């Protein structure tokens, strides 16, 4: 980042990365420790309205824990999380979070196999709107939203099929759809392309870009090819702190980032090739990494 707070090569003011320049999510001085082990360490982090941000970092960096704290699943020892203005998110129920406009997708899909795709979306919309009782009708607006979501996720033709027969990728899209019918302002996705084929991964990238047109999205991901292809701004988390932030081109040249990934891999293979395997370094640059030469 330059001194005036712009990312080199990206010309985006820090903290005002997209949208109208305000933050939908601000995490300030967040600290959480488990059994005396500090997982998030005085962490400052924010996302703008209308922004899709990628969060990367070696295993154990604290990425999932950050999502846990944002959604109230884990309680921070110190610091604050502010969402959409000045709301303090601690101690909110799942339904309250959905109502406020936060949707979180876990790595394991939580779709109902015995329901059709349409019914899964319906159940999710009913939860959001507290339409209890199967025989209470949904409003025209909600039905319309379900159809729009089916279109967006490419599942329109399959809406009457049971979710149990979906492929791994399709199940992920359905689950993203189940969040979308709840009209989130911020979507939190933890490793959404894990286990996907290349084609599914590319479709997911497109889908996320479409989704991010109308809302903010935070994507935690290990698949660096995917991040390279679809990320605009990447935040690198390491040992509970932001290590680097900017375009993928910028962060993968950051010596601190390279060291963090190498450090993690050293015990396993002892070579920089491990960092390439991890994906943070393009394979062609491994030779310069091992010799300690400038750019990675």
Ligand X SMILES: Nc1ncnc2c1ncn2[C@@H]1O[C@H](COP(=O)(O)OP(=O)(O)OP(=O)(O)O)[C@@H](O)[C@H]1O
For position 64 contacting Mg ion by CB under 5 A, the verdict is yes
State the number of binding residues for ligand X (CB under 6 A): 10
Choice from 63, 126, 158, 238 touching ligand X (CB under 6 A): 63
For position 59 contacting ligand X by CB under 6 A, the verdict is yes
CA angle 9–238–58, rounded 5-degree value: 95
Burial class (CB in 10 A: 0-12, 13-18, 19+), 180: buried
What string marks each residue from 7 to 36 as x (binds ligand X by CB under 6 A) or -? ---------------------------x--
Please, which residue, 107 or 144, has the CB nearer to ligand X?
Answer: 107
Please, which residue, 39 or 179, has the CB nearer to ligand X?
Answer: 39
**N-to-C CA span, the chain:** 17
Alpha carbons 231 and 156: distance in angstroms, whole number: 28
Q: Which of residues 165-224 bind Mg ion (CB under 5 A)?
A: none
Least gap, CB of 73 to ligand X (angstroms): 9
For 212-216, the CB contacts below 8 A with 24+ separation are 212/50, 212/51, 212/52, 213/50, 214/50, 215/50, 215/184, 215/185, 215/186, 215/187, 216/19, 216/24, 216/25, 216/47, 216/48, 216/49, 216/50, 216/51, 216/52, 216/53, 216/185, 216/186, 216/187
Please, which residue, 58 or 103, has the CB nearer to ligand X?
Answer: 58
Considering just the CA atoms, what is the radius of gyration of the chain in Å?
A: 20
Choice from 65, 149, 172, 216 touching ligand X (CB under 6 A): 65
Please, which residue, 64 or 265, has the CB nearer to Mg ion?
Answer: 64
Partner from Mg ion, ligand X, none contacting 65, C-beta within 5 to 8 A by type = ligand X
Choice from 17, 24, 25, 39 touching ligand X (CB under 6 A): 39
Alpha carbons 230 and 249: distance in angstroms, whole number: 12
Least gap, CB of 31 to ligand X (angstroms): 13
Please, which residue, 47 or 69, has the CB nearer to ligand X?
Answer: 69
- Footprint of ligand X (CB under 6 A): 34, 39, 57, 59-65
């Amino acid at each position: 980042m330059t001194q005036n707070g712009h990312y080199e090569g990206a010309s985006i003011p820090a903290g005002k990365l997209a949208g109208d320049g305000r933050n939908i999510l601000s995490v300030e001085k967040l600290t959480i420790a488990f059994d005396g082990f500090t997982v998030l360490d005085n962490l400052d982090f924010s996302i703008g309205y209308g922004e899709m941000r990628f969060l990367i970092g070696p295993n154990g960096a604290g990425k999932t824990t950050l999502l846990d704290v944002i959604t109230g699943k884990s309680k921070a020892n110190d610091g604050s999380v502010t969402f959409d203005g000045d709301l303090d998110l601690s101690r909110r129920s799942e339904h309250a979070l959905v109502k406020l406009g936060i949707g979180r997708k876990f790595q394991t899909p939580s779709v109902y196999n015995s329901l059709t795709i349409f019914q899964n979306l319906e159940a999710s919309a009913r939860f959001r709107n507290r339409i209890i009782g199967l025989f209470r009708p949904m409003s025209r607006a909600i039905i319309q939203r379900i159809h729009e979501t089916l279109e967006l996720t490419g599942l329109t033709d399959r809406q009457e099929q049971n979710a149990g027969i979906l492929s791994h990728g399709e199940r992920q899209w359905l689950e993203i759809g189940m969040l979308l019918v709840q009209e989130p302002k911020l979507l939190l996705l933890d490793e959404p392309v894990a286990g996907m084929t290349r084609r599914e991964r590319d479709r997911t990238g497109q889908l996320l870009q479409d989704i991010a047109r109308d809302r903010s999205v935070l994507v935690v991901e290990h698949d660096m090819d995917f991040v390279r292809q679809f990320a605009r701004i990447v935040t690198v988390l390491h040992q509970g702190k932001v290590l680097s932030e900017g375009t993928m081109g910028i962060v993968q040249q950051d010596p601190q980032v390279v060291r963090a990934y190498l450090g993690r891999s050293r015990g396993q293979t002892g070579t920089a090739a491990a960092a390439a395997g991890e994906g943070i370094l393009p394979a062609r640059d491994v030779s310069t990494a091992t010799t300690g030469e400038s750019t990675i």
